[in-house]
Chain A
Amino acid sequence: MKENGQELDRIIREHSLYQCLECGKCSASCPRQLAGKEYSPRLLAHKLIAEREDEAFIESSVWECLTCGLCGERCPSGVNFSRLIMDMRVLLAGTKGLKGYRSHDGALHSWMRIMTSPDLQQERLGWVHAGIRVATYGPVAFFTGCAPYFDIFFAGINVDTLSIARDSVRLLNFLGITPVLLSNERCCGHDLLWTGDRENFETLCRLNYEEFKDAGIKEVVVSCPECFYILSEFMPEIIPTFDIKVTLLIELLEQEFRKGGMAFRPFKHKVTYQDPCRLGRVCGRYDPPRNLLSMIPEMKFREMENSGRSAICCGNNAFINCDSYSKRIQVQRLREARATDADMLITACPKCMIHLTCTMRDPLRRDSLAMEIKDLVSVLADQIEWTGK
């Protein structure tokens, strides 16, 4: 790590790693370590500070973390591992090459990098149907994210992430908003950034900004927590003139629904809720999903054993390092969901839906883990109605 000495010092200082007490709370709460993986955030902290010559250890650990942020909730010194890991990956990717075993052999990262092409002319809006109203130019856009791509790529496990986009637009229409859908929107780049590819990530941000400007956009409504995190926190950092309001769909919905004039049809289900890490721990939005769910009559809501700040990750992040330990985390998470006696698991991130659905299909455990899984916006869009009051 010698050649990276200064940069490493900066990263360590910026993330208050020198305040580390070696108390081990991070390791004791890390789902990856608890699943049995040979990985210890505490030891990584120690090596980065005191034993930088152990490059092999540092390099392999940096790619292991799920960046779920659970340890950050417990660390008495406020070490934010998720961001520390991101910076370390960017640093190591620049000098030693991108590592981390890429799930699906890196297909998703490939299409994300292909999207850095400035001349791209996508055909990503084939899913728009007559039942929804959309525009090509106007003040408010809806950010679709990778849903049209996931829809094809994950067709084999029957996960319908495109319905999240459709239902988001339905809800916006319900509120009288006709959102712009950008035909050349790019991936937000979250997964490239969290796998260390900062250069291509920044290109995606800039291209998206150009698309927003060309379509006259003043506000972008986002439903995916990762896209929201990137658009609201990273885009303004990368584009100094960034002047676009970024709105989280569920926050907008909560605020509008509180004004009255609408109601929800009863939903006779027992449900539980998976906090996506980018929505909860990273963006601090624990309440809006719960508040929205509490508006639906006859629905019973039960929290899982680990929820809110302690919620456990869906097992994978940025589509790297999915392995038997990820599966163990997912199995544990689904067992917690089943233990609530709920018949439906509600989530708010397409990736939680993909990863947890994948585990439910495990042929050896199928019956013990399977349950209906639905995104929050789909539940809302299906149950909402005007009361005209």
Chain B
Amino acid sequence: MNHVSLLGICCNWSPYACYNAAGMARLKMPPNFRLVRVMCIGRINQALILRAFEYGADGVILLECKDEDCRYGPGPEVGHQNVQRVRRLLRLLGIGQKRLVERSFATHEKEEFVRALWEFSELIQTMGPNPAKPRQELEVS
């Protein structure tokens, strides 16, 4: 099995509720998977997604609320736009568009949530490690 690093960026509201509920129900999550919780996917910009790849992620999944459920307004739409742009950049870089995934959930969808993580993990497993990883020391800041 390929060793791949997976990063999930998870909105605090519906998707995190799914994550919590999945944990309570002891549903099994994929290995090598790290989750970063943010207050809203609208907080995530193109730079932060790119930086995950710069720092060695093999795949990134944005876990969002449904468009109409956003607690702040346009969060998921901002997410869609950023994903679309970053995918085009990833394609130019040869990292490939598929390594960036976007999924949305309603609060009660814990099974869907876990299934999405497994699907994402299998997708990146089959793709293997991201070939375009900087080999050098990362910035110190």
Residues of A within 8 A of B (CB): 93, 96-99, 102, 104-107, 110-111, 113-124, 126, 148-149, 152-153, 155, 197, 199-200, 203
Contacts and interface: CB of A to CB of B under 8 A. Distances in A.
A153 B53 CA distance: 16
Interface stretch (B16-24, B59-67, B72-80, B92-100): B92-100
B132 interface: yes
Contacts of B92: 122-124, 126, 148-149, 152
B88 interface: yes
A199 B91 contact: no
Contacts of B94: 120-123
Nearest to A192: B139
Contacts of B50: 107, 110-111, 114
Contacts of A200: 134, 136
Given A97-B139, A123-B91, A152-B85, A117 B45 contact: no
Contacts of B131: 117, 119-121
Nearest to B92: A124
A104 B47 contact: yes
Interface of B: 45-48, 50-51, 53-54, 85, 88-89, 91-95, 131-141
A93 B85 CA distance: 30
Contacts of B93: 111, 114-115, 120, 122
B54 A114 contact: yes
A99 B132 contact: no
B134 A117 contact: yes
Nearest to B94: A121
B140 A97 contact: yes
A114 B95 CA distance: 10
**4 closest Cβ pairs, A-B complex:** A105-B47, A107-B47, A97-B140, A121-B94
Contacts of B132: 114, 117, 119-121
Nearest to B49: A107
Contacts of A99: 141
A199 B137 contact: yes
B82 to A, nearest CB: 10
Contacts of A126: 92
Given A106-B47, A113-B54, A149 B89 contact: yes
B1 to A, nearest CB: 21
Contacts of B138: 113
Contacts of B141: 97-99
Contacts of A197: 139
Nearest to A96: B140
A105 B82 CA distance: 13
A107 B45 contact: yes
Contacts of B95: 114
A203 B137 CA distance: 12
A116 B139 CA distance: 13
Contacts of A105: 45-48
B105 to A, nearest CB: 26
Contacts of B91: 123
Given A105-B45, A114-B54, A117-B134, A152 B140 contact: no
A120 B90 CA distance: 11
A117 B46 contact: no
Contacts of A111: 50, 54, 89, 93
Contact of B136 (A96, A106, A123, A203): A203
B135 A118 contact: yes
Contacts of A117: 131-135
A153 B134 contact: no
30 contacts: A93-B139, A97-B139, A97-B141, A102-B47, A106-B47, A106-B51, A107-B45, A107-B46, A107-B47, A110-B47, A110-B51, A110-B54, A114-B54, A115-B93, A117-B131, A118-B135, A119-B131, A119-B133, A120-B94, A120-B131, A120-B132, A123-B92, A124-B92, A149-B89, A152-B88, A155-B85, A199-B136, A199-B137, A200-B136, A203-B136
Contacts of A203: 136
A113 B51 CA distance: 10
Nearest to A120: B132
A122 B131 CA distance: 11
A119 B91 CA distance: 15
A91 to B, nearest CB: 13
Given A106-B47, A117-B135, A119-B133, 6 more contacts: A110-B47, A111-B50, A115-B93, A116-B134, A124-B92, A153-B46
A339 to B, nearest CB: 36
B46 A104 contact: yes
A118 to B, nearest CB: 7
Nearest to A107: B47
Contact of B140 (A93, A120, A123, A153): A93
A199 to B, nearest CB: 6
Contact of A114 (B45, B46, B53, B139): B53
